[in-house]
Structure 1
Amino acid sequence: MNDSEATPSITPMRIFWLFLRLGLTSFGGPAAHIGFFHDEFVKRRRWLSAADYAEVVALCQLLPGPASSQVGLSIGFLKARYVGAAAAWLGFTLPSALALTALSLGLSAWPDAASGGWVAGLKLFVVAVVAHAVWQMGVTLCPDRTRLTLAVLVAASLLVVGSAWMQLLVLVLAGGFGAWRGLPAGAAADSLHLPLRGRWPSGFAVVFALLLGLSFIPLPAGSDGWLAAELYRAGALVFGGGHVVLPWLQEGFVASGVMPADTFLAGYGAAQAVPGPLFTFAAFLGGSEGGIGGAVVALLAVFLPGALLVFAGLPLWSWIRRHPRARAALAGVNAGVVGLLLAALYDPVWTSAVHTPAGLALVLLCWSGLALWRVPVWLLAPLSAVAGALLW
C-alpha cells in the first residue's frame, strides 16, 4: 500500500483514543484481545475485511513477540502508516504500563510490602494461571502424539539445563524437527489477501538482527544498558505470547540475583489483573530497577523487536504461507513453546510459591475458577491476594 492509499479520514489521534479505550477494557490475555480487535475494527467500524484481519493475525502469530500488540500495531499501520502504528501501540499499552510502573515504585518505596501474605496469594494465583496456559496451549499446539512428545522432551531438557542459551537451542531444534518430519500445520490461507507492503523491510530486518546481536554483549547487571538488552532479547526470542516471556525474564532477573523471586512473581501476578498486553510486565521490572526512566527503557526494549519484525515480515508473509516446510517448522517451534512453559511452571513458578497444603488448595481453587467457572483474571487476582493475606 502506498502512502497515498492510507485512509486520510482516520487520523493517528483517533487511532490513539480507540486503542486507549481498548487498553482500559481489554482483559483476558492475547486471545481475548484479538477477539476485541475483531469486534471493534472488523464488525463495528469495518476498517478491515474479515479476510484481511485473519491475514494480519496469522502473520503476528507466526512472529516472535506479543501477538495482540503486533495485531494492533498492524491495524494502526494500515490506517495511518508508521505514526498510526505508534498511536495504536501507545494507546493499547499505556494503561497497564502506568499501573505496573506505579506498583513497582510503591514496592520500591515500601519494600516490606513485598513480604506480606498478599504476595504469597498472588504467587499461588500465578501458578494457576501458568498451569491453565500450559493446558490451553497444549490442547491447541500439541494435538498429536508426536508434538506432545516433543513438548515433553523440551521440558525435560530445560529442567536439567535451564539456561537462556538452552531455551533458544531447544526451540531451534524443535523447529528443525518440525520441518524434517513435515508436521501438519494446516492449509495455507492463499485465498486471503492483505494489500500491504512494508517500507524498507530489509532495513527493519537488519536493525532487528543488529540489536539482537548487541543484546548478547555482557553488561553490568542493573544498568540501563543491561535492562534494555535483557528485555530486547526476551521480546525478540519469545514465541507464544505473554506467558512464555516468563522463563526468559526469570532467567535474566531472578536467576542472576538482580530481583527476588517474590517480587518478580508478585509483579507478574499483578500484570494478570490489569487490562492490555501482558508484556507491560516489563514496566514493573524496569520501574523496580530504575524508576520511571527504567520503566520507559524496559517498555521500549521489549516491544521494539516485535514492531521491527512486523514491518520486516509483512512482505515475506505471502511467501511463507505457500511453503509447507516453513509452516511445519513453525508447528515444531509451537510444540517446543509448550515444553518451555511447562518447565517454567515447575521452576520458578511452582518451586517458589507452593510450600504448604493450604497453598496447593488455593492453587486448585484458582485453577478451577479459571478453567471451569471462567472467573475473569481481573477479579481472581485480587481475591487471591486477599486470601493470601488472610492465610499467611
Structure 2
Amino acid sequence: MFFSVFWKFFLLGCTSFGGPAAHIGYFRKEFVERLGWATETEYAQWVALSQIMPGPGSSQVGFAMGYHRGGILGAVAAFVGFTLPSVVLMCLFAALDSQFADDVVFQGILAALKLMAVVVILDAIWGMGRSFCQSYRTRLVALLGMVFVLLWPLGLSGLLLVLIAGAVGAVWLADTPTKTFTTPVSRSIAYASLGLFVALFVMAALINGNGAAALMAQLFQAGSLVFGGGHVVLPLMSEQLANFVSTTHLLTAYSAAQAVPGPMFTLATYIGAILAPDGGLVLWAVLATLAIFLPGLLLMLVGQHFWQRVGYYPRVQGAVNAINAAVVGLLAATLIFPILPASVTGIWQAIIVLLAFAWLRAKQPAIWQVVTVFVVGGVVSALF
C-alpha cells in the first residue's frame, strides 16, 4: 500500500504545475474521478478543511487523501511522493544557480505547462461546481465568493471567505445536509499530533541565533502561521528570515518554486540548500522542507478528527455545503487572477485551452497523457 500511494503521488509530483489551485484539480481528476479512492463529498471536505488550517493547502489535501487510503503510512507516502520531485529540482536550482532557467526549450515547456494548469483548474471548477452548486443558494454562495476574492485579493481573503461562508451556511443551508467523510483519525493520533505541534512551536519560539536550529525554527513558525498557501508564505518568510537570506534570494526561491511542479512551500528547500555549509546541501534542504511542511500536516490530522466528531450536526453540514460552494468560487477567482493573465496571453493560447478542456471533458485522459501533449507542444513551439 505504501509504494502504491507513493508512486501515484510521485507521478503527480512530477507533473503538477500551476500552484495549489491546479493541484486540487489534479488530485480530484486522478483520485476521485479516475481511481475512486475517495468520494466527491469526502474530497471537497478535505479541500474545505485545508482552507481554514494554516499550512500548504494542496499538500494537506494530498496528506488527507493518503491517510484515507493507507493510514499514517499512506499519509507519509503521499507527502513524500508529491513533494520529492520538487525538492530534487529545487536542490538542483540551488546547486546549478538556475543556469538552465533561460533555456529556450525550458521556457517553451514552462509556458505550455502553465496553459495545462488553466485547463486542469477549469475542469476542477466544472466538476466541483456540478456537484456542490446544484441549488440557487449554493450557486449564489459560489458567485459571491468569487467576487469577494477578486475585490479583496489579499493573503487572508481565502480564509475569510471560508469562515464567512461557513457562518452563513450554518444558518441558511442547515436544511440541506450532506454526508460527512468517515476517515478514522483516532483520538490518540489527533492528540499526539496536537501535542507534538504545540511542543515544537514552543521550542521554535525559544530558539534564537543564526545557526541551523534557528533557521529551522523560523521555518516551522512560518509554516504554522501562514494561511492561504505558497503565495502567501513569501511575505511572512521575508520577515521571519531577514537575518538569514537576502530579498533577492527569497525572490529567486519563489520564482524557482513556480517553475517546478509540486507544492510551492518547497521554496524553503531552496533556502536551506543555499545556506548549507559545504557538503550539507541535501541535509539542510531536507530539514528546511520538513520544518515548513510539518506543522500544517500535523494540524490537518487534528482538524480531521474534530471535524468528523461534529460533522453530523445539521448546522455543521450546512456550513460544509456553503464552504464547498465557496471553494468553487475561490478556485474561479484564482483562475481569473492571477493564473489566467500569467498563462493565456493571446487568442491562440485561449483556443488551445478551450480545445484541451473539451478533450479533457469528453475523453477523460490520464494526467500523464495531458502532460505529454502539452510538453511536446511546448518543445515544438520553442524550436519552431
Question: Is TM more than 0.5 here?
Answer: yes
Tell me how large the CA RMSD over aligned residues is: 4.2
Residue 331 of structure 2 is matched in structure 1 by: 341
Letter in 2 for 1:92: A
- Give the unaligned 5+ runs of structure 1: 1-14, 40-49, 78-84, 238-246, 272-280
Change in Cα spacing, 1:18 to 1:339, as seen in structure 2 (3 Å) is closer
Following TM superposition, by how much is the alpha carbon of 1:377 offset from its aligned partner in structure 2, in angstroms?
A: 1.8
Kept in 1, the 8 Å contact 2:91–2:269? The answer is yes
Q: How does 1:65-76 map to 2 (within 5 A)?
A: 66-73=60-67, 76=70
- Which of 21, 24, 27 aligns to 1:29? It is 27
Deviation digits for residues 151-206 of structure 1 (CA, Å, limit 9, x no counterpart):
121211211211112221121111000011134553557xx988874217456446
Distance of 2:126 and 2:147 partners within structure 1 = 17
Residue 199 of structure 1 is matched in structure 2 by: 188
Kept in 1, the 8 Å contact 2:9–2:81? The answer is yes
Letter in 1 for 2:259: A
Other structure's SS at 1:114 match: coil
Following TM superposition, by how much is the alpha carbon of 1:322 offset from its aligned partner in structure 2, in angstroms?
A: 2.9
Deviation digits for residues 89-147 of structure 1 (CA, Å, limit 9, x no counterpart):
33333333322222223344262533422111111111111122122221122111211
Please give the TM-score of this superposition, normalised by the length of structure 2: 0.69
Distance of 1:214 and 1:36 partners within structure 2 = 43
Change in Cα spacing, 1:212 to 1:72, as seen in structure 2 (3 Å) is same
Distance of 1:104 and 1:350 partners within structure 2 = 25
Change in Cα spacing, 1:341 to 1:117, as seen in structure 2 (3 Å) is same
Change in Cα spacing, 1:251 to 1:370, as seen in structure 2 (3 Å) is farther
- Which of 54, 76, 82 aligns to 1:96? It is 82
Deviation digits for residues 222-241 of structure 1 (CA, Å, limit 9, x no counterpart):
x655544454456xx5xxxx
1:157 aligns with 2:151: no
Residue 20 of structure 2 is matched in structure 1 by: none
Change in Cα spacing, 1:315 to 1:120, as seen in structure 2 (3 Å) is closer
Other structure's SS at 2:363 match: coil
Kept in 1, the 8 Å contact 2:28–2:43? The answer is no
Distance of 1:54 and 1:121 partners within structure 2 = 29
Residue 17 of structure 2 is matched in structure 1 by: none
Distance of 1:143 and 1:214 partners within structure 2 = 47
Distance of 1:182 and 1:173 partners within structure 2 = 13
Residue 243 of structure 1 is matched in structure 2 by: none
Distance of 1:120 and 1:139 partners within structure 2 = 29
Distance of 1:314 and 1:33 partners within structure 2 = 22
Distance of 1:161 and 1:194 partners within structure 2 = 34
Report which stretch shifted further, 92-101 or 142-151.
92-101
Distance of 1:327 and 1:146 partners within structure 2 = 15
Residue 168 of structure 2 is matched in structure 1 by: 177
Letter in 1 for 2:63: S
Following TM superposition, by how much is the alpha carbon of 1:207 offset from its aligned partner in structure 2, in angstroms?
A: 6.0
Change in Cα spacing, 1:356 to 1:144, as seen in structure 2 (3 Å) is same
Residue 289 of structure 2 is matched in structure 1 by: 298
Distance of 1:199 and 1:296 partners within structure 2 = 26
Kept in 2, the 8 Å contact 1:214–1:229? The answer is no
Please give the TM-score of this superposition, normalised by the length of structure 1: 0.67
Kept in 2, the 8 Å contact 1:134–1:338? The answer is yes
Change in Cα spacing, 1:196 to 1:97, as seen in structure 2 (3 Å) is closer
Q: How many matched pairs? A: 329
- Which of 74, 91, 95 aligns to 1:105? It is 91
Q: How does 1:54-93 map to 2 (within 5 A)?
A: 63-64=49-50, 66-73=60-67, 76-77=70-71, 85=72, 87-93=73-79
Following TM superposition, by how much is the alpha carbon of 1:338 offset from its aligned partner in structure 2, in angstroms?
A: 1.3
Report which stretch shifted further, 251-260 or 133-142.
251-260
1:249 aligns with 2:240: no
- Give the unaligned 5+ runs of structure 2: 14-25, 51-56, 239-246, 274-281
Distance of 1:349 and 1:385 partners within structure 2 = 19
Residue 375 of structure 1 is matched in structure 2 by: 365
Kept in 2, the 8 Å contact 1:179–1:326? The answer is yes
Following TM superposition, by how much is the alpha carbon of 1:363 offset from its aligned partner in structure 2, in angstroms?
A: 1.9
Kept in 1, the 8 Å contact 2:141–2:325? The answer is yes
Kept in 1, the 8 Å contact 2:142–2:329? The answer is yes
Deviation digits for residues 32-87 of structure 1 (CA, Å, limit 9, x no counterpart):
33678877xxxxxxxxxx9xx9998798566435345324325654xxxxxxx1x3
Distance of 1:262 and 1:101 partners within structure 2 = 14
Following TM superposition, by how much is the alpha carbon of 1:337 offset from its aligned partner in structure 2, in angstroms?
A: 1.1
Kept in 2, the 8 Å contact 1:208–1:309? The answer is no
Residue 354 of structure 1 is matched in structure 2 by: 344
Q: How does 1:129-278 map to 2 (within 5 A)?
A: 129-186=120-177, 188=179, 197-199=186-188, 201-202=190-191, 204-205=193-194, 224=216, 227-233=219-225, 248-253=229-234, 258-259=250-251, 263-267=256-260, 270-271=261-262
Identity %: 19
Kept in 2, the 8 Å contact 1:142–1:335? The answer is yes
Distance of 2:182 and 2:232 partners within structure 1 = 40
Kept in 2, the 8 Å contact 1:231–1:249? The answer is no
Kept in 1, the 8 Å contact 2:185–2:304? The answer is no
- Which of 268, 281, 285 aligns to 1:286? It is 268
Residue 114 of structure 1 is matched in structure 2 by: 101
